[in-house]
Structure 1
Amino acid sequence: MRLWFGLAAGVSILLGPGCGPERSTATPDADPNPAVVTEFDQPQPTREGEHTFAYGPQTIYVYADPSLDREVERLLLLFEDLRAESVPITAKTRIPIGWTTLSFALDGERLVVEEPDYDNEPESRTRPDISVSLATLARQRAVLEQVGIPGQAIEFDQHVLTIRGVLERDEVMLVRVESPGGRLTGWRLTPAEGIEEADEIESLPVYAILAARPELLDAMLLPPGYLVLYAGKQLTTIVNEANEIVWDWTVDGELPRDGDAALGGGFVTDESEGRERPRPLLEPLE
């Protein structure tokens, strides 16, 4: 069962009850009645890393690393739902999902999906390869599924309160509280051993943490009240709001991945007919 909420009211994605992105861009100048196809057209890669999806008179193009084909398929399920709801997509459309925001570059009848350019001014520049967005979403989904809870969205340009120099520490701790508002996620990043009186507090955008320690984003859709510990690149412990350890790497082992490979296999083909289709990128858990 696919659960996407608020598709016709505005392009927004909810990760669970009471959870949703803070902003959504409408498209008032678009055709209010685009052609709608109710049956799912199984997309096929046109070349390695390129996938297409018919969206009314336009064609959506998605570019990502071939290892992420299964994640692209999840994204196309979202486009299927948007198409069924007659939601117009133009170059002004923005889709916040999980931690990232997808946008579209219009070239005639081609709509190319883009992500913020996380290597070069992501607040003002975008790029057509969305591999970073999809790979991070896959790892975040694995954390949420392991804990068995819906996530709470953040935005790539929101901020995390940190201790200066903590990103260079091997063992760190992330704690999420209710966001005080503004551009804060509610996450606090400190050394695992705690804060000392001489420590200086600073605020870093999520994309800066992505650049320095991408593994830290894996846990950042956990809701307020959760605490996580890292040793280097390894997420080692997840503690819930009741101060209970709900996942321990030394006991439970690596987080599971669904699909045929680490981030999923390819599209359904004649040889794989009958295989269960994937759930959307961040379907609320029951």
Structure 2
Amino acid sequence: MKTVFITGAASGIGLATARRFAADGWFVGLYDINQEGVDKLLQSGEFANACGAYCNVMDRDSIQQALDHFSNQTQGRLDVLVNNAGVLTGGEFHQIDSKAHDMMISINIKGLTDVAQLAFPLLKQTPNSTLLNLCSVSSVQGIPQLAVYSASKFYVNGLTEALNVEWKPYGIRVTCVKPPIVNTAMGASLPEQIMQRMAVDLLPEQVAEAIYRAVPGSNAGYLLGLKAQMMGLVTRLCPWFIRRKMIAYVTSYN
């Protein structure tokens, strides 16, 4: 039985992803800082083959304990790691509390990095394994009022592209998905100015389906949705002054 380990699995995209893999018969590891949420899911009977526990991605010991817990249930097999845990605080850069900036850096960058590094031994010993990082369309072009979040996703994209090459000799495929605004609690927290023109485009279940389909794919990254793909095209083909006008327009800065 194939196995998948998911961080941030108690809600949103993480939970939708867990359900998608479970529907196809995978053994699912649900790991989240929300211990109560994980326990309820495991007790619900929704997952026929699953395990789960507390995992705080800001704590390397907690990550290692979660991976050890999962490995004990799967005899050391880890086919897919979905590096999903992340946070977002939007608003004017100079007005956002420094603690919120620290949290995005700690979880979206350091936490994602630590999860990938600590999971490497399990991925390496599992043939044809995959690391899939949750990225964002905001990794294509810096987004006003999402400056630090956007920058953190640039990091995720860069790490993904580097490890896609570096880990190939070990039989590990590394990729990411880049959704636009998703209809989750995180998506609902975006500043109103951005929401005026950047409407919610995707449901968590649609992102989960894209994640599932990306696992056997060949690309280092996947832009989800027409708007995201158009932004990617404009970024590749157009000079900066045009890209600047586009971003100013879609974020209501014009």
TM over 0.5: no
**Greater percentage in strand:** 1
Higher helix share: 2
Report the TM-score, using the length of structure 1 for normalisation: 0.27
Q: Which has the larger radius of gyration?
A: 1
Could you tell me the TM-score, scaled by structure 2's length? 0.29
Q: Which has the higher contact order (CA 8 A, sep 6+)?
A: 1
